[in-house]
Each structure stands twice: as C-alpha cells, then as structure tokens.
Chains A and B, each alone.
Chain A
C-alpha cells in the first residue's frame, strides 16, 4: 500500500545537526513533489520545505531557510531533511507528505511522523 515512513528523529543539543529520512513505498516516488511539515508540541501545523519531483527546485519556510536542506534520492525512493544549527524552537514532530498531484497541491499521503527534540 501507499506509505511514507519517517526516521532519524531524536534528542539533539542546540546548534547541532540531524538528518531525517522518509522512505516511500507503494507508488512511483519520482513522479511526486514532496514536502516536510512540522508540528510543535500542542501546536498547529507548519509547512517546512518542498522539493519538486525531479529534485531540481526546493522551497523553504523563512523559519528554516539557510539552516535546513531538503533533498531526495529517487533511486532509493527516499526523501531527506538535513537540519543544521538546530534551535529549541525546531522541537516538533516532523512529517513528510506527498502532493496529491494532477494540479492539486494538497497533501494526500502523510508519514506517521518522527519527533525531534532540541535541548541541552
């Protein structure tokens, strides 16, 4: 079945780095734009980053621009989020999400999320 599975979360000190992965299965990963969305504890959803299906373009929220890098390996059906210079306000559950497609950019498939805690 169509599935996204995140991994790589954990507890990290402020200023350090972490890389998240999102493994896709059940669909042709290389055909879809992919996003990262995060949710701080008890808060709402915040869009983080987008990468187009072919990896040629990326977009970022202002809050992470210059610190986070989204990438993908279509040969491995995997999406990544490299997070550098982490801050306490980056603490959140991070979800990867697939775009519905067909000219509709809503997110139809979500992973279960991976928790990132930035704390000394």
Chain B
C-alpha cells in the first residue's frame, strides 16, 4: 500500500497571502495524484487531478505541481472561502490512498 504523507498538519496563513501544501508518496505514483478540498460538514471537492490539472470550475489561484513522489498544492492569494482541509490522493495503484490532510487556517 502506498502511504501518502502531507505536511504540515496545520498551516496558518493570512488572507491574500500564498499557501503551499506538500504531499509525499512512499513510492512513485507518476502524475496520478489528486487534491481535494473539504469544508466542515461538506463532502470533499476535487481541485486538481493529474498532479497539475485544475478540475472544472476551480479558480486559477489553485495550482498543483510535482510528479513521482513529491507534490505541491499552491494557493496564490488566499480568499476567505479557501480556509478548509486539503487532502491529496494517489490513484496510481490499489488501494487508492489519501493523505491525512492539511488544515489551512486563518492567521
């Protein structure tokens, strides 16, 4: 099983600033990586797939990069609605696995 490790567990950033979230895979997942955003009481929402492709309707301030074992989600200028928990997920091999999440909180 591929273990996905996200860092940091909690990230405190001020609105308007840039946020950088990291995700590491225990073995290569190529570019088969997705990022999801989850707000309290809501289902996850797909942000990025293929490591760097924004899903439909996702604002351009969200960007993903990386391949192999190291991945990054960048939010260029944080808006109030961006404060949430973010999960990475590999879909390269079974079982599909998620990271433990990064909570993005208002500084």
Contacts and interface: CB of A to CB of B under 8 A. Distances in A.
Chain A interface secondary structure, helix, strand, loop or mixed? strand
A113 B46 contact: no
B101 to A, nearest CB: 5
Contacts of B50: 104, 106
Interface string A45-78: 1110010000000010110000000000000000
B87 A44 contact: yes
Interface of B: 32, 34, 36, 38, 42-46, 49-50, 55-56, 87, 89, 91, 94-101
Q: Categorize the interface residue count of chain A.
A: 20 to 34
A32 interface: no
A105 B42 CA distance: 21
A27 interface: no
Contacts of B32: 105
Nearest to B92: A105
A95 B98 CA distance: 14
Interface in A89-110: 95, 100, 104-108, 110
